[in-house]
Amino acid sequence: MQVSYVIRDEVEKYNRNGVNALQLDPALNRLFTAGRDSIIRIWSVNQHKQDPYIASMEHHTDWVNDIVLCCNGKTLISASSDTTVKVWNAHKGFCMSTLRTHKDYVKALAYAKDKDGNKDSIYSLAMNQMGTVIVSGSTEKVLRVWDPRTCAKLMKLKGHTDNVKSLLLNRDGTQCLSGSSDGTIRLWSLGQQRCIATYRVHDEGVWALQVNEAFTHVYSGGRDRKIYCTDLRSPDIRVLICEEKAPVLKMELDRSADPHSAIWVSTTKSTVNKWSLKGILNFRASGDYDNDCSAPLTPLCTQTEQVIKGGASIIQCHILNDKRHILTKDTNNNVAYWDVLKACKVEDLGKMEFDEEIKKRFKTVYVPNWFSVDLKTGMLTITLDESDCFAAWVSAKDAGFTSPDGSDPKLNLGGLLLQALLEYWPRTHINPSDDETELNHGMNGEHESRIQKGNGYFQVPPHTPVIFGEAGGRTLFRLLCRDSGGETESMLLNETVPQWVIDITVDKNMPKFNKIPFYLQPHSSSGAKTLKKDRLSASDMLQVRKVMEHVYEKIINLDSESQTGAASAEKPSEQKEEEDMAVLAEEKIELLCQDQVLDPNMDLRTVKHFIWKSGGDLTLHYRQKSTETNAIQDEFVSSSGLEKFSIA
């Protein structure tokens, strides 16, 4: 079980990524686009050409692979790589039901149930308008024909040499058109159970097909980015309609007029174009078509009739060393700076060299990984997994948070984030044990409000989608952050939130600090003999400064002040003089790792990661600064001595 969330704007008006499917509602002049950004958008295509956006239908959590409009445009069905099929009220744009019967990506829809039963993934489906025949195309390279009423297998059609990605059936289900990754379009007779004709129009795989009602002209598009219209009866008559800028994923004929006046085309880019077909008749009539395949055709259209502008999708990202901020680059080469913890964009940096910016923002800080990033939707999807979610601790000061009492508590980034994501979930508002909460949170000030919401440091945008899913990617439950207070959502959360999230958000059980083992030895230059190796252990966030204090206090001081005294003698003075000690220690002592003098502000994990580098336990050496004339005397370090620091 994983918890994910998406960093995005509250309203995403533009397709963020490629568009996998299109459906046109001619009655309302609405276009539905099924985006790889997981969002189905509704566009008004007749009016508002400047701002055609009407609404988004957001419930999917992964690519929407196919949509089908049915029931006279009242209902939309969508299939997604989140393994669900959803049924929507197409007019109002809300999700009516979710079918979770699939165990893998749902790639294609044909108005009705699709058939499983073979091992090969189905990439295309078609059903005739009478609902008597279903055809499926798959990596099996074979078309399988079914009777949807009886679920009986009718036949298999062999001929393609590669995956079948697009299928069309004529009205009565007697003829079928298939477009395949092998680059061909085939026309099949279901009555004769054979291939009637093969059209080699494209240079590469054919991914999208449309056909007129009479089943005489096929429009095809695919990987070669070109869209052709081919006369099925005389294949030499073909017209290059246009050339897109990216591989064509889907086409939708505008059937409001006959002959068709335009075609909508979606590609792997986020922009959806409408191309006019008006010239095609003249083109044909003129006999100007070029049936010489060798010569490059000139496209019928060079200008789009209408454009539904797409947004930029993030194509590259880099997690900075603080494991909190991310640099991204989008399709427009714009670089942005994000805060994972607050689930928001911090800064748009505009067009710049991505790698340069990464270098510029490099910090010698080591924080363990605690989340993973996914760009599949073109937006940032952050996923937290139980295995490492709580790995990262930072001090509040470093994180830029101040606690009311001025202390500098250690914060667990994953824990804080989970608390923020479920801030509105009522169950997290009840504290089983106030004391514990107080202790763990170090939030004395706000405790008086009695109901403590969130984590007390920050909030995530309330529109942030939160997704509970299986590790493999199947989505179990998606909701918006702010909706977790709703009754239904609360109930569902009770069922889906995994225990490890409950522990931190409801029970407020903070995870334990990470301990790091290390050795502390006098530096060889001091002339001291190597002591018996004592293995120390401390929080991996312990600053070098603290270790220096320890050295000063336990080793140097012992020598200078009370050579006969025992270590216990130091205890009373410890707290009072702590600050003095720190100053003194820094003045007199330096720590080295791999013969490199350490910055007192570094913490142990950073030292280990950036300086120690190798495996095995970290070994630190101490020596008195060169100004010191006192020779460091040998003294063994008790391994218990450092334990206290881990609590600090």
Partner 1 sequence: MPGLLNEGGVVAAVVGSPVKKSKLSLKFFQKKDTKRALDFSEAPAEDNDTAEPEETTNHDQVVPMPCPSSPLTCEKHESLVPFVGLNNLGNTCYLNSILQVLYYCPGFKEAIKSLCLLAKLKDKQQDDGAKNEGDTGEDTLPVSMELLGSFHSIISSVEQLQSSFLLNPEKYSDGELATPPRKLLNTLRQLNPMYEGYLQHDAQEVLQCILANIQEACDNIKKEQTDNQKDSTLSNGMGESNHEDDGSSNGQLSGKRKSDTEAGNSKKRAKSQSKSKKNEENVPMTRSKRKSSSGITTESSDQRNGTEEKEQEKDRGSTIEEEKNDSPPKEEGKRTRRGKLGWLKPSGKQPSIFSKFRSMGRITSHVGGRGETKEKSDCSVQEKQEKDTSENESRTQEVKQSLEKNKEQSGLDVLKWMFQGQLVLRTRCLECECFTERREDFQDISVPSTLSDDVSPDPKPELKTLKWAISQFASVERIVGQDKYFCETCHHYTEAERSLLFDKTPEVITIHLKCFAANGSEMDPYAGLSKVNTPLQTPLKLSLHEWCAQPDSPDRSHHYELFAVVMHSGVTISSGHYTTCIRMMDLHHTTLRLQSQDEDQDRDREDDTKQKKEEVPRTEYDDGEVSFSLPGRGQNVARVSTTISMSSKSVSKRSSEGVGLLGGQRSITSYELSNSNQTNPEKVSGSASRAAGSLLQNTVKKETEEEGVDAMDDGTQVSFDVALRNLLDFEGKWMLFDDSEVRLFEEEDFLRACSPETCSTSTPYLLFYKRVSQ
Site of interaction with partner 1 (CB under 8 A): 36, 63, 81, 104-105, 120-121, 123, 139, 163, 181, 204-205, 223, 247, 268, 315, 374-376, 378, 472-473
Question: Least distance to partner 1 from the beta carbon of 120, Å?
Answer: 8
Question: Least distance to partner 1 from the beta carbon of 142, Å?
Answer: 14
Question: Least distance to partner 1 from the beta carbon of 528, Å?
Answer: 37
The H or E element that residue 537 is part of is: strand 535-539
Which CB, 202 or 217, lies closer to partner 1?
Answer: 202
* Residue ranges in 442-552 assigned as alpha helix (H): 487-496, 499-505, 544-550
Tokens of 432: 């089983």
Torsion of CA 427, 431, 432, 433, to 10 degrees: 170
Residue with tokens 């990464």: 358
Cα(426)–Cα(485) distance, integer angstroms: 6
Sign of the four-CA dihedral 129, 133, 134, 139: negative
637: which residues sit within 8 A by CB, 6+ positions away?
520, 531, 534, 536, 554, 555
What string of DSSP letters covers 360-373? HT--S-------EE
580: which residues sit within 8 A by CB, 6+ positions away?
none
Which CB, 28 or 375, lies closer to partner 1?
Answer: 375
> Cα 230 vs. chain centroid, distance in angstroms?
40
Cα(203)–Cα(301) distance, integer angstroms: 19
Residue with tokens 């077909």: 277
- Could you tell me if 355 and 333 are in contact, meaning their C-beta atoms sit under 8 angstroms apart? no
Question: Least distance to partner 1 from the beta carbon of 393, Å?
Answer: 30
Question: Least distance to partner 1 from the beta carbon of 183, Å?
Answer: 10
Tokens of 166: 């697009």
Which CB, 180 or 428, lies closer to partner 1?
Answer: 180
Question: Least distance to partner 1 from the beta carbon of 310, Å?
Answer: 16
Which CB, 104 or 561, lies closer to partner 1?
Answer: 104
Question: Least distance to partner 1 from the beta carbon of 106, Å?
Answer: 13
Question: Least distance to partner 1 from the beta carbon of 87, Å?
Answer: 24
Which CB, 220 or 484, lies closer to partner 1?
Answer: 220
Measured at the CA of 74, the angle between CA 71 and CA 76, to 5 degrees, comes to 85
Question: Least distance to partner 1 from the beta carbon of 104, Å?
Answer: 7
Which CB, 161 or 601, lies closer to partner 1?
Answer: 161
Cα(16)–Cα(6) distance, integer angstroms: 13
- Could you tell me if 407 and 442 are in contact, meaning their C-beta atoms sit under 8 angstroms apart? yes
Which CB, 314 or 506, lies closer to partner 1?
Answer: 314
> Cα 162 vs. chain centroid, distance in angstroms?
31
Question: Least distance to partner 1 from the beta carbon of 145, Å?
Answer: 22
Tokens of 455: 């984590």
Nearest to 78 by CA among 108, 55, 105, 114: 108
Looking at residue 146, its amino acid is: W
- Could you tell me if 158 and 144 are in contact, meaning their C-beta atoms sit under 8 angstroms apart? no
Which CB, 48 or 103, lies closer to partner 1?
Answer: 103
Which CB, 472 or 615, lies closer to partner 1?
Answer: 472
Question: Least distance to partner 1 from the beta carbon of 205, Å?
Answer: 5
Question: Least distance to partner 1 from the beta carbon of 246, Å?
Answer: 10
Peptide bond into 461 cis (omega under 30): no
Measured at the CA of 295, the angle between CA 290 and CA 300, to 5 degrees, comes to 50
Which CB, 139 or 619, lies closer to partner 1?
Answer: 139
Which CB, 17 or 78, lies closer to partner 1?
Answer: 17
Which CB, 454 or 473, lies closer to partner 1?
Answer: 473
Question: Helix, strand or coil for residue 542?
Answer: coil
